[in-house]
């Protein structure tokens, strides 16, 4: 039996926030049995750098532990544009056309979004998808680390204008800015709730004629 891969959420000190506890990316471990033991393919995350060029990074206006956002969007909009996306809760989907897709959650603790309904910033956890290459799946020894498909690689290069790679001299930060497809978010599908709207975990359900996997 060939080793089977399992995608894992990995906590890291990522890009602009070396002291941020919830910075996260996605790694892969393999095992020949669901009971384990599981071994990491590599000592690094998968080759994927999701980037949001349109997000006002209000964490840069906040002090550790980054729990008190600005009181109004007029203040939040003064924050610089662009941020790398902490990614958790991975799930993999094989489409009928043979393409392989990674569904994941955007970590809510680094995604403050203004809500007119609640008249304040909320921590929003979105569900995104991105196509993966298939070299890792076709490796009979399961030793190839997954990578994002070339059609999503570095699609935001040069955005936003004046972007600074890092504010931490000891960590230069990534330079690639990969894309993604929004699947579920408060902006796309507002939820009626008395609490802060959020989503936890990414799950893929396919019904005949409904909810097709996103394609380029």
Which stretches does DSSP call E strand in 112-199? 112-115, 120-123, 127-132, 181-184
Q: What is the pLDDT of residues 24-68, one digit of tens each?
A: 788 888 888 888 888 888 888 889 999 999 999 888 888 877 778
pLDDT band at 215 (very low <50, low <70, confident <90, very high): very low
pTM equals 0.80
| The pLDDT value given to residue 197 | 44
Residues of the chain with pLDDT > 90, as a percent, come to 28
pLDDT one-digit tens code per residue, 151-180: 999 999 989 987 766 554 544 567 789 999
Pairing of strands 127-132, 100-106: antiparallel
Give mean pLDDT, residues 10-29: 61
The Cα 61–Cα 110 span in angstroms is 12
pLDDT for position 7: 63
Q: Coil, strand, or helix at residue 114? A: strand
Q: Name the least confident of 77-81, 132-136, 158-162, 167-171.
A: 167-171
Which pLDDT score is estimated for 103?
93
Indicate the pairing of strand 51-56 with strand 39-40. Answer: unpaired
Q: What percent of the chain has pLDDT over 70?
A: 72
pLDDT at 8 over 50: yes
Residue 199: pLDDT band (50, 70, 90) is: very low
Beta-strand runs (E) in 57-86: 81-84
What's the average model confidence in pLDDT over 101-130?
A: 88
- Mean pLDDT of the residues in the chain: 78
Between residues 11 and 85, which one has the greater pLDDT? 85
**Residue 210: DSSP 8-state:** B
Higher pLDDT, 173 or 92: 92
41-145-174-122 Cα dihedral, nearest 10 degrees:
-90
pLDDT recorded at residue 21: 47
């Amino acid at each position: 039996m060939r080793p089977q891969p399992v995608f894992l959420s990995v906590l890291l000190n990522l890009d602009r926030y070396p002291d941020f506890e919830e910075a996260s990316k996605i790694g892969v471990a393999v095992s020949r049995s669901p009971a384990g033991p599981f071994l990491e393919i590599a000592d690094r995350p998968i080759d994927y750098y999701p980037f949001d060029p349109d997000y006002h990074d209000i964490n840069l206006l906040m002090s550790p532990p980054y729990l008190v956002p600005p009181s109004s969007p007029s203040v939040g909009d003064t924050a610089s544009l662009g941020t790398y996306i902490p990614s958790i809760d991975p799930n993999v989907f094989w489409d009928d056309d043979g393409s392989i897709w990674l569904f994941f959650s955007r970590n809510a603790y680094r995604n403050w979004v203004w809500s007119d309904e609640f008249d304040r910033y909320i921590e929003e956890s979105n569900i995104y998808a991105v196509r993966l290459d298939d070299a890792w799946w076709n490796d009979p020894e399961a030793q190839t680390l997954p990578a994002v498909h070339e059609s999503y690689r570095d699609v935001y290069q040069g955005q936003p204008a004046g972007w600074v790679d890092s504010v931490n001299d000891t960590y230069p930060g990534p330079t690639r800015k990969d894309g993604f497809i929004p699947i579920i978010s408060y902006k796309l599908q507002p939820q009626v709730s008395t609490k802060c709207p959020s989503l936890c975990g990414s799950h893929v359900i396919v019904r005949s004629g409904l909810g097709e996997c996103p394609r380029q």
